[in-house]
Chain A
Amino acid sequence: MGELRLMKGNEAVAEAAIRAGCDGYFGYPITPQSEIMEYLMSEKPYETTGMVVLQAESEVASINMLYGGAGTGKRVMTSSSSPGISLMQEGISYMAGAELPALLVNVVRGGPGLGTIQPSQADYFQSVKGGGHGDYKIIVLAPASVQEMADFAKLGFELAFKYRTPVMIQSDGAIGQMMEKVELFDPIPRRTEEELIAQCPWAATGKPKNRDHIIITSLDLDPAGQERVNLKLQAKYRQIEEKEVLFEEISCEDAEYVFVAFGLSARICQKSIDMARAQGIKVGLFRPITLYPFPTKQIAALAKKVKGMLVVEMNAGQMIEDVKLSAGCSVKIEHYGRFGGIIPAPDEVVRALEKQIIGG
């Protein structure tokens, strides 16, 4: 059993990054995720593992520092919350285009604009549908606990390097701030220069005599060349969709209805299930863990078995579009959402199920 600690989600992802052999963190303060850099600065990993921690002048600088570090094969991460992530979109698009691995953490707060510092899930579209310009996707992991904040840091780096793509942990202000018991995995040593060069032959590390110079770029002015880049990216995304879908089903075996929810909403729905089942309503929960790749096939299969689905999100209805695309018209699908930083209570979710799905 790994080391047990009581931690905030933000601290857990920071500690896990150090343990996952992260080479560099670059970030800019914003609530509700500032504890990530604060934790790293107080832990001083630069004195232990050699990990660089730098407070940048903006999120624009942070993401471009990430691009620089990632282009040299280093394991790099940043974190921010919604407005800061918006500022990073150009850089994320460049990294997707140049096929660079990196870990991004978005501890989502309510928007639009400066919005609120309270938890929200309103950045689903931005994370899952691309966010920046051009045809690209990034892998999006949605933790529902502090434990998953830690575990997904490690998983995120693995996927990022496996597919040479940015990976985002999309959390929210509640998962970031709440404290829970975490079992921490054992530290993985940072790669040596030799290991990095052997593992990342694509990285710009200094040109030796015996290989061509390496160019990290997302530019190809020739449209035929740029189409080839796009085709290559799309082939990679199909592979990710094939192999990397993660989801969880709770109490779905006998369910007549299901909640579909991710992250914090899924935690709330677990409580709603208990309440509804106490009233005799057979309801289960389907929780997408990867928001991209989306568990399309699994939702399609589930839609054939149940009488209705309630998509519960802390937004005005974003993931529901993907649920509907997956399920088609075979079953009734409704949305229940609270926005702007309001967290729905378990009983209001049960009432919504009764009103919108069972009674409706």
Chain B
Amino acid sequence: MEEPFVKTDIRKEENIVYKRTNLLVDRPLSYCPGCGHGVVHRMLMETLEEMGLQDKTIGVSPVGCSVLAYDFMNIDMLGAAHGRAPALATAIKRMWPNRFVFTYQGDGDLAAIGTAETIHACNRGENFVIIFINNGIYGMTGGQMAPTTLPNMRSSTSPYGRDVSIMGHPLKMTELVAQLPGTYYVTRQAVHTPSHVRKTKKALRKAFENQKNNTGISFVEVVSNCNSGWKMTPVQSNKWMEENMFPFYPLGDIKVDGKLVEQKEAVTKE
């Protein structure tokens, strides 16, 4: 018989260096192995746990692969209709100003069907956190083109690559909302390496700290892979993301403490 992967005799309290945060429910995630969604879930829940906010947080999940986020996050949550999470969060925060409120949304959810809700919540300067998972594709429905799909990128509805002359251009929602007076902190991060994971967690912490002071929207984009939708292995997808997504969606802070950060020349591949 094969040796079990985890030797049970080493599962002792003194050997534990890493464990599930209490704010994640003990159940298997619904995400494809290798997908960034699960990592962001964990960083988000660790942040709330460290800040002691479990009993004060109300989250809003989207329609997309993370539609079941409420099953994994051990906090009170509402599942929004596709694109409408910022509308829900607006009302929740205005009627529960002493609660911490966030939305967790994909790129189709936030930058296509929910564009109006996103822009207006940002422009009103609502006091909640928006977490934006940009994988350049509609993961849940089977890999269709998203507003964020790169030029020439293949998807099931752009099988020969996105022809921008016919299908339009990818939308940089994050740069767009950074222009609005109601956003206070706008940043773009990733979670495909340990150092990026740590930076994302820092960004999340900053976002929720901002909410304590009612500064307006903190907007954290995470450029993430969709290995299934991109039809790649997880390793290939992370490499592809570095080579193609990051040049178009450069990582780093875009707006900090209400002020736009000096932008490096973005290398766009068109």
User: Is chain B a partner of chain A in the same complex?
Assistant: yes
Which A residues form the contact surface with B (CB < 8 A)?
23-24, 26, 52, 54, 56-58, 60-62, 64-69, 71-72, 74, 76, 90-91, 94, 98, 204-209, 213-219
Q: Please, could you name 22 A-B residue pairs with CB atoms under 8 Å apart, sorted by A? A: A24-B95, A57-B117, A57-B120, A64-B81, A64-B84, A66-B91, A67-B80, A67-B84, A69-B95, A76-B91, A76-B95, A94-B81, A204-B78, A205-B99, A206-B99, A207-B75, A213-B25, A213-B75, A213-B76, A215-B79, A216-B79, A219-B67
Interchain CA distance A143-B77 in the complex, whole Å: 36
Residue contact A65 to B54, C-beta cutoff 8 Å: no
Knowing that A24-B91, A56-B87, A67-B84 are A-B contacts, what are 10 other residue pairs whose CB atoms are under 8 Å apart, sorted by A's residue number?
Answer: A67-B88, A68-B90, A74-B95, A205-B96, A207-B54, A208-B55, A213-B74, A215-B71, A216-B77, A219-B79
Residues of chain B lying within 8 A (CB to CB) of residue A94: 81
Which B residues form the contact surface with A (CB < 8 A)?
25, 54-58, 60, 67-68, 70-71, 73-81, 84, 87-92, 94-96, 99, 116-117, 120
Most A Cβ at <10 Å: residue of B55, B78, B120: B78
Interchain CA distance A207-B116 in the complex, whole Å: 30
Residues of chain B lying within 8 A (CB to CB) of residue A72: 58, 78, 92, 95-96
Residues of chain B lying within 8 A (CB to CB) of residue A68: 60, 78, 80, 87-92
Residue contact A54 to B94, C-beta cutoff 8 Å: yes
Residue contact B94 to A215, C-beta cutoff 8 Å: no
Residue contact B89 to A215, C-beta cutoff 8 Å: no
Most B Cβ at <10 Å: residue of A23, A204, A214, A219: A204
Residue contact B88 to A64, C-beta cutoff 8 Å: yes
Residues of chain A lying within 8 A (CB to CB) of residue B120: 56-57, 61
Choose from A24, A64, A67, A205 the contact partner of B94 (Cβ within 8 Å). A24
Residue contact B54 to A64, C-beta cutoff 8 Å: no
Choose from A26, A52, A91, A205 the contact partner of B84 (Cβ within 8 Å). A91
Interchain CA distance A74-B91 in the complex, whole Å: 10
Knowing A64-B88, A65-B90 touch, does A209 contact B77 (C-beta < 8 A)?
A: no
Interchain CA distance A35-B78 in the complex, whole Å: 31
Minimum C-beta distance from B47 to chain A (A): 16
Residues of chain A lying within 8 A (CB to CB) of residue B57: 206-207
Residues of chain A lying within 8 A (CB to CB) of residue B70: 213, 215, 217
Residue contact A206 to B56, C-beta cutoff 8 Å: yes
Interchain CA distance A210-B112 in the complex, whole Å: 39
Interchain CA distance A218-B99 in the complex, whole Å: 23
Residue contact B77 to A218, C-beta cutoff 8 Å: no
Residues of chain B lying within 8 A (CB to CB) of residue A209: 55
Interchain CA distance A74-B95 in the complex, whole Å: 8
Residues of chain B lying within 8 A (CB to CB) of residue A67: 78, 80-81, 84, 87-88, 91
Closest to A62 in B: B87
Closest to B56 in A: A206
Residues of chain B lying within 8 A (CB to CB) of residue A24: 91, 94-95
Knowing A54-B94, A57-B116, A204-B58 touch, does A71 contact B78 (C-beta < 8 A)?
A: yes
Residues of chain A lying within 8 A (CB to CB) of residue B94: 24, 52, 54
Interchain CA distance A25-B57 in the complex, whole Å: 23
Interchain CA distance A67-B75 in the complex, whole Å: 18
Residues of chain A lying within 8 A (CB to CB) of residue B71: 215
Minimum C-beta distance from B83 to chain A (A): 9
Knowing A74-B95, A91-B84 touch, does A207 contact B76 (C-beta < 8 A)?
A: yes
Residues of chain A lying within 8 A (CB to CB) of residue B95: 23-24, 52, 69, 72, 74, 76
Interchain CA distance A23-B87 in the complex, whole Å: 16
Residues of chain A lying within 8 A (CB to CB) of residue B60: 68
Minimum C-beta distance from A149 to chain B (A): 24
Knowing A68-B60, A69-B95 touch, does A217 contact B90 (C-beta < 8 A)?
A: no
Residue contact A204 to B76, C-beta cutoff 8 Å: yes
Residue contact B88 to A71, C-beta cutoff 8 Å: yes
Minimum C-beta distance from B1 to chain A (A): 35
Choose from B68, B76, B81, B84 the contact partner of A206 (Cβ within 8 Å). B76
Interchain CA distance A64-B73 in the complex, whole Å: 22
Minimum C-beta distance from A359 to chain B (A): 52
